[in-house]
Structure 1
Amino acid sequence: MKKILVIGIDLGGTKIKGVLLDEKGRVVKAYEHPTQARLRRQKIIKNILEVINVLRAGKSEEVKGIGLATPGFALSSGRMTCMPNIKKLEGFNLKKELQKRTKLKVWLENDANCFALAEHMQGAAIECKDSIGVIIGTGIGTGIVIDNMIYRGAIGGAGEAGHTKLVLDIHEAGHIKGIKEVEDLISGPSIIRRYEELSGKKTYSPVIILNKKDEFSRKVYAETVYFTGIFLANLINIFNPEAIIIGGGVSNLPYYKDVQKVVNKYAHPSLAKACKIRKSKLGELSGAIGAAELALSMIS
């Protein structure tokens, strides 16, 4: 019996990460290449093909398909939309192009969905039936897995929870003073921006808020914990997941115990108790692994 292999590609604004996965979900090979997102479209496609060809080398007969994790999302036609970090691919049918160039079946999926699927199948939510993956980095990405399947919504855009709104203050007369998107409150750039506003100092990393001797760091840390907890509590109240898995650069902050306290306060007690909040296990390859798992499920 011939071995079945699939390729998973995570197309990021900076890097293209790829894995070769066997039928048991094991990573056989991994490779990455710069995206060069500011160059012309054909150069970006050439870079994607470079990753595919390296992973496929010597295994062409065994490779049966490609899954591709993409920022934004792909319409059912295969056209790319909502691609702020790779604008040259906006409106382009990447699926059709890659199928033509590789002679393989290609499946496209939102990168946060792939992250959620990878952690659900192989990572921190492996024992769950219902879980949510949240990427907190430059922005916020959310993938929802219900009954072991990605929930995509009407046009494939489900999980854009970073764009949900929080009311920051209400005047006595009931007028709303400030509404902010979650992404503008808990992402890496928003943490940096808030610290710089308060302190007047320049910083380049959210890690600055761990400095307990700095009053501005303490304030921004408290705000970040509070808004992250509210955000996760809202997800728990809506979806009742068994686990929420946090990935992305901000996930490395050691704030989980404090976030859990906020979740326990604002989520329904029974739902909060049923949900575990965990850091991702698969690291930087999670998107590529999830894309490969998607391809594997389609072939199977």
Structure 2
Amino acid sequence: MTEIATRFAPSPTGRLHLGHAWSALCAHDFATARGGHFLLRIEDIDPGRARPEHVSGIIEDLLWLGLDWEGEIVFQSERTALYAMALEDLKRRGLAYPCFCTRKDIAASASAPHGPDGPVYPGTCRSLDPETRMRRMAAEPHCWRLAMAPAIDEAGPLLWIDGDGAAHPASPAAHGDVVLARKDAPVSYHLAVTIDDAAQAISHVVRGRDLLEATHVHRLLQALLDLPTPVYIHHPLLGTASGERLAKRNGAPAIADLRAGGTDAAALVEAMRAGRFPDDYRML
């Protein structure tokens, strides 16, 4: 029988808010209810936004909520060599190529269709000849993209399993040639999370429904890199009474503010487990 392991993997770009607490609680309780392991990973690969003080805040908030984890905390910033090895493998197999386009270039392209995350890369740099690529790589900032069509051809039909045991076909094509390594960071979310979930032996990825579409890309990368596939459980998100999702950008209540305001942590967690949330927040 597979040993149960889940993880909470926040980015240290700000303080945790109530939506983060809900996601951590879902992953924590799923594992502990089954005698499994709850792990903590810090996804600190964004050099422009990740801050050490936010790492400390994450640890403080989780401990205040009573959501302890097993083992050492994994930091993505300490694992860049592993990501580079995977990227080099995909390059060698002709499944990754450099891209010199900016977001503005992509948004302005008349041929850019829309996918789950907005404008899909139209493939402008996909067919550059080797000499042009080498010349531009030496002089211009660039990211690395997955060559989606040949990657799908190589992987063949794929499935992923949800928490109810239902099988779903992986349909990554709608995302287009996703970024594997950014211009300003050594790896993208898609590649790093796929490698780390395998390395930490995560059996069940418990995360919000906002990441449901990303599962299709992750399933493809697992196949290409010969990595195991966890079960995926996408929990409801928290939102306001008007249906707006809680997020840092729209002023979601920080756990630190709740603590400073005298909120009882044990009572808060007990209420959340029962589906009750403060300030009329609710599951979406």
Question: Which TM-score band applies after superposition, normalised by the shorter structure?
Answer: 0.3 to 0.5
Which structure dedicates a bigger proportion of its chain to strand?
1
TM-score normalised to structure 2 length: 0.33
